[in-house]
């Protein structure tokens, strides 16, 4: 019986002579399709990891204990190569390196005024302050680097800025803090000094309005990318609330959404949208042009239960996925992101 290595060795030899004969270069994709690239006589064979057939690698598994997560809800990839994950099951924020090794944890569960009951979104400012939105207490707590509580975001006497459900946090390069209040369909803005500045957003279905939106991210040029969940679309606003772009509608085709729950943007401005109703993650240019997608309800049964509660890109564009259904954190390395998004056009061999 021909084993795994022999199979790919014979494939390599066959295609080497074939490519040399016709002076062509081939790339053998995972599904066995041959894709033409250039007239250089070389052969590349893509080999799946033998130890795992999953398209997505488990970054942090589900289990009790400091090194694991019980019920993850939020994630943030810091510029310091640290990955911050909120664990609603343990009432803590756990900090990992990019290899999934736990570094430390902050916060504590309890019923005190500064305890965590159901931590959701998390973000870290350029100054190192850690902001955590608690979905049960409806507070946004502020921790310093050492993990000590330094207070909370306070709207003072301004009733329009008081939180009903702080669903997500995004922080600009200048330290400006944006809180998305899902119940009010509003964005509340604070200065880098943690002082209330303004709020904007109107409930509705027309372009530029929000309907129980669940996630926001800082996009290209500092604009805000918002998953407008109940309107089945993504909207992009300036930091002051002026609509820049709106794309998507309800449906299952590429570029359409069914209750988009989370968004993230990488350093180039590429947008990832967790479309939970469609059981997939879709990718778009900064202005909303469709690039590609990852579908979870496929032949790989281990991936059919993925539900993206939150997404984050790190500094090298690896994508982290909080899977609230499987209660774990998944990771797509940057080289696999390139393979997912790279246009591949079949070409017939030319004689």
For residue 46, CA distances in Å to 32, 102, 145 come to 9, 32, 42
Report the range of poorest mean pLDDT among 17-31, 149-163, 239-253, 273-287: 17-31
Rg of the chain over Cα atoms, rounded to whole angstroms, equals 22
Mean pLDDT of 283-287: 93
- Whether the model clears a pTM of 0.75, i.e. scores above it, the answer is yes
| 208, 235 Cβ separation under 8 angstroms | yes
H/E run at residue 129: none
Phi then psi for 93, rounded to 5 degrees?
A: -110, 125
Tell me: pLDDT of 326 over 60: yes
Phi then psi for 221, rounded to 5 degrees?
A: 65, 20
Tell me: pLDDT of 107 over 60: yes
Phi then psi for 13, rounded to 5 degrees?
A: -65, -45
Between β-strands 215-218 and 196-200, what pairing exists: parallel, antiparallel or unpaired? Answer: unpaired
Q: Give the chain's domains with CATH numbers.
A: 4-45 (no CATH), 57-341 (2.120.10.30)
Tell me: pLDDT of 36 over 50: no
Report helix, strand or coil for 117.
Answer: coil
Q: Alpha-carbon distance 158 to 175, whole Å?
A: 22
Nearest-10 Cα torsion for 175, 193, 76, 128? 100
Burial 47-71 (b: 16+ CB within 10 A, else e): eeeeeeeebbebbbebeeeeebbeb
Tell me: pLDDT of 50 over 90: no
Reported as a single tens digit per residue, the pLDDT across 302-312 is 445 688 999 99
Q: Which residues contact 342 (CB under 8 A, 6 or more apart)?
A: none
Tell me: pLDDT of 155 over 80: no
Phi then psi for 208, rounded to 5 degrees?
A: 90, -5
Reported as a single tens digit per residue, the pLDDT across 72-90 is 999 999 988 999 999 999 9
Burial 87-125 (b: 16+ CB within 10 A, else e): bbbbbbbbbbebeeebeebbbebeeeebebebbbbbbbb
Confidence of residue 42 (pLDDT cuts 50, 70, 90): very low
| 316, 268 Cβ separation under 8 angstroms | no
For residue 271, CA distances in Å to 38, 64, 187, 334 come to 30, 32, 19, 15
Reported as a single tens digit per residue, the pLDDT across 159-198 is 766 899 999 999 999 999 999 999 999 999 999 999 999 9
Between β-strands 149-152 and 139-143, what pairing exists: parallel, antiparallel or unpaired? Answer: antiparallel
């Amino acid at each position: 019986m021909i084993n795994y290595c022999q199979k790919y060795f014979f494939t390599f030899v066959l295609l080497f002579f074939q490519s040399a004969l016709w002076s062509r270069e081939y790339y053998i994709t995972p599904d066995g399709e041959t894709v033409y690239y250039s007239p250089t006589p070389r052969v590349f064979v893509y080999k799946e990891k033998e130890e795992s057939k999953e398209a997505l690698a488990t970054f942090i598994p589900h289990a009790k204990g400091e090194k694991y997560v019980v019920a993850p809800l939020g994630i943030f990839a810091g510029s310091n190569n640290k990955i911050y994950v909120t664990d609603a099951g343990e009432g803590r924020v756990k900090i990992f390196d990019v290899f999934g090794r736990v570094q430390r944890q902050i916060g504590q569960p309890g019923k005190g005024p500064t305890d965590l009951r159901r931590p959701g979104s998390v973000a870290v400012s350029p100054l190192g302050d850690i902001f955590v939105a608690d979905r049960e207490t409806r507070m946004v707590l502020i921790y310093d680097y050492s993990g000590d509580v330094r207070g909370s975001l306070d709207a003072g006497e301004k009733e329009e800025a008081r939180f009903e459900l702080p669903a997500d946090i995004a922080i600009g390069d200048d330290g400006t803090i944006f809180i998305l209040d899902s119940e009010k369909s509003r964005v509340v803005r604070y200065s880098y000094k943690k002082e209330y500045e303004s709020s904007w957003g109107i409930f509705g279905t027309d372009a530029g309005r929000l309907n129980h939106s669940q996630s926001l991210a800082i996009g290209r040029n500092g604009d805000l990318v918002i998953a407008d969940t109940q309107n089945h679309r993504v909207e992009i606003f300036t930091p002051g609330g002026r609509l820049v772009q709106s794309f998507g509608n309800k449906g299952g085709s590429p570029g359409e959404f069914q209750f988009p729950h989370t968004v993230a943007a990488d350093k180039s401005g590429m947008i990832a949208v967790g479309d939970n109703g469609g059981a997939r993650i879709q990718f778009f240019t900064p202005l909303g042009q469709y690039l590609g997608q990852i579908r979870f309800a496929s032949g790989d049964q281990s991936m059919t239960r993925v539900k993206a509660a939150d997404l984050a890109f790190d500094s090298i564009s690896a994508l982290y996925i909080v899977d609230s259904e499987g209660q774990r954190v998944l990771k797509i390395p940057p080289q696999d992101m390139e393979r997912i998004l790279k246009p591949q056009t079949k070409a017939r061999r030319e004689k």
